[in-house]
Amino acid sequence: MSTLDLLATGETALASAFDFDALLTEEERGWQQRARRVAREQIMPVIEDDFEARHFREELIPLIAAEGLLGMHIQGYGCAGASATAYGAVCLELEAADSGWRTFVSVQGSLAMSAISKFGSEEQKNEWLPRMASGEVIGCFGLTEPDGGSDPASMRTRAVRDGSDWVITGSKRWIGLASIAGVAVIWANTDEGVMGFIVPTDTPGFEATPIQGKLAMRASIQCDIVLDAVRVPESARLASVVGLRGPFSCLNEARYGIVWGVMGAARTCLQVAIGRSLSREVFGGAIGRFQITQQKLADMLLEYEKGALLALHLGRQKDAGALTPTQISVGKLNNVREAIRIAGTTRAMLGGDGVTNEFPVMRHMANLEAVRTYEGTDDIHALILGRALTGIAAFS
């Protein structure tokens, strides 16, 4: 049975056990189907080659933009103003193909565009958002630094006022899309606290270099950034926020997308596991006839179904304006953890073939290790929840 046939078998069986799509509204399903089409027709056929070649296929950006997926949850400025649930469903479909493509819409829409949308002036929004929604301009979001990304409060990058300008000096690490970005949202410490700046990447002193040697997220780009006395005018500052509340508010958006996205990676793995359990014959019959195999499939179904329902619940909360950062941490910690387990169990069920790229599973496993680390590691989200429950911050 080909991998595609196997996925189709798994898809039918999974949908009959848990018809998630039926829980979405017609509008949400419309967005979901658009993203599913992009994932299946444009990403899945090339992703194994791109992952192997460490290639980010930039030519897909206009297609994704044409479907309205960039900054789709933002109102106005060329953005669709779709619901949070619709955006979540899109993240799930893209990550069912590869986490790198969900990260692409996250960095562009949830981080760079959200920062401008939340904290930018009318002029800044009009200047950047329509071109970012159309994919003409790619954005990046520079918060993490080489030392201790978990603790942005220790930020060393500094912005110093010089007349009507700001001069930014420092370095950032792991910044998605930076080498192809036209604009960077850079967070820097100042005498008054952390501030955000919209930095065109052709500004003298700005340099982004892709990080090499990645064994995860190989079909996407992350960079080191050096800021060597980068000079921007006061009009480039995101003037309506000072302090870490600024970048952290954007992280809420991206973490929310991850809660959904990783269930896409989990769904693909579970579909493979179901298909393979019916097609792989050992000891004279399909491995799906072993009780041990069925126990694994049942456990994976439980966690996939719970994770997808949790994502949907958070989506409905967000659409009602009631989603809290604590709830987002519950979703990020749980869903990434369970997606990693589902990918690992499926890989083992595939036997030796599971370590090849004949199946999408080991690629998802590797990607999910990166997802576990970014947007707050699992340890950090556990500590956020511990603080919420006890009132005691145990970060240091």
Catalytic residues: 375
Return the residue of 14, 65, 107, 333 that touches ligand FAD, per CB under 6 A: 107
Could you say which residues in the range 175-214 bind ligand TGC, by CB under 6 A? 176
Q: Under rule CB under 6 A, which residues in 78-117 are in contact with ligand TGC?
A: 103, 106-107
Binder of ligand FAD out of 175, 183, 265, 365 (CB under 6 A): 175
Give whichever of 79 and 250 is closer to ligand FAD, judged by the CB atom. 250
Q: How many residues bind ligand TGC (CB under 6 A)?
A: 26
Question: Which residues, in sequence order, are bridge partners of residue 209?
Answer: 224
Q: Pick the closest to residue 135 from 163, 118, 112 (CA basis).
A: 112
149 binds ligand FAD (CB under 6 A): yes
What's the CA gap between 109 and 132, in Å, rounded? 8
The least distance separating ligand TGC from the CB of residue 189, rounded to whole angstroms, comes to 13
- State the nearest-atom distance from the C-beta of 132 to ligand FAD, in Å: 15
Which one of ligand FAD, ligand TGC, none is in contact with 243 (Cβ closer than 5 to 8 A by kind)?
ligand TGC
144 is a contact residue toward ligand TGC (CB under 6 A): yes
* AA identity, residue 391: G
SS3 sequence, the chain? Answer: CCHHHHHHHHHHHHHHHCCHHHHCCHHHHHHHHHHHHHHHHHHHHHHHHHHHHCCCCHHHHHHHHHCCCCCCCCEECCEECCCHHHHHHHHHHHHHHCHHHHHHHHHHHHHHHHHHHHHCCHHHHHHHHHHHHCCCCCEEEECCCCCCCCCHHHCCCEEEEECCEEEEEEEEEEEECHHHCCEEEEEEEECCEEEEEEEECCCCCEEEEECCCCCCCCCCCEEEEEEEEEEEEHHHECCCCCCCHHHHHHHHHHHHHHHHHHHHHHHHHHHHHHHHHHHCEECCEEHHHCHHHHHHHHHHHHHHHHHHHHHHHHHHHHHCCCCCHHHHHHHHHHHHHHHHHHHHHHHHHCHHHHHCCCCCHHHHHHHHHHHHHCCCCHHHHHHHHHHHHHCCCCCC
Candidate residues 81, 146, 243, 285; the one interacting with ligand TGC per rule CB under 6 A: 243
The span from the CA of 16 to the CA of 48, in Å, is 28
Q: Which of the ranges 68-76, 148-156, 308-316, 334-342 carries the binding residues for ligand FAD, by CB under 6 A?
A: 148-156
- Strand 183-190 and strand 139-142: the pairing is parallel
Q: Which stretch binds ligand FAD (CB under 6 A): 28-36, 58-66, 137-145, 162-170?
A: 137-145
- From 51, 56, 128, 174, residue interacting with ligand FAD (rule: CB under 6 A): 174
Q: What residues from 351 to 370 belong to the interface with ligand FAD (CB under 6 A)?
A: 370
Residue 374 contacts ligand FAD per CB under 6 A: yes
- Choices 82-90, 125-133, 156-164, 239-247 (CB under 6 A): range interacting with ligand TGC: 239-247
Nearest approach, Cβ of residue 291 and ligand TGC (Å)? 39
| Near ligand TGC by CB under 6 A: residue from 151, 162, 192, 281 | 151
Q: How far is the CB of 175 from ligand FAD (least distance, A)?
A: 5
Strand partners, 231: 167
Q: In the complex, what is the shortest distance from the CB of residue 276 to ligand TGC, in angstroms, rounded to a whole number?
A: 29
Binding of ligand TGC by 150 (CB under 6 A)? yes
Closest approach of Cβ 247 to ligand FAD, in Å?
8
Nearer to ligand FAD, 34 or 337 (CB): 337
Number of residue whose CB is nearest ligand FAD: 149
Binding site residues, ligand TGC, CB under 6 A: 103, 106-107, 143-144, 149-153, 176, 243-245, 248-249, 251-252, 254, 325, 374-376, 380, 384, 395
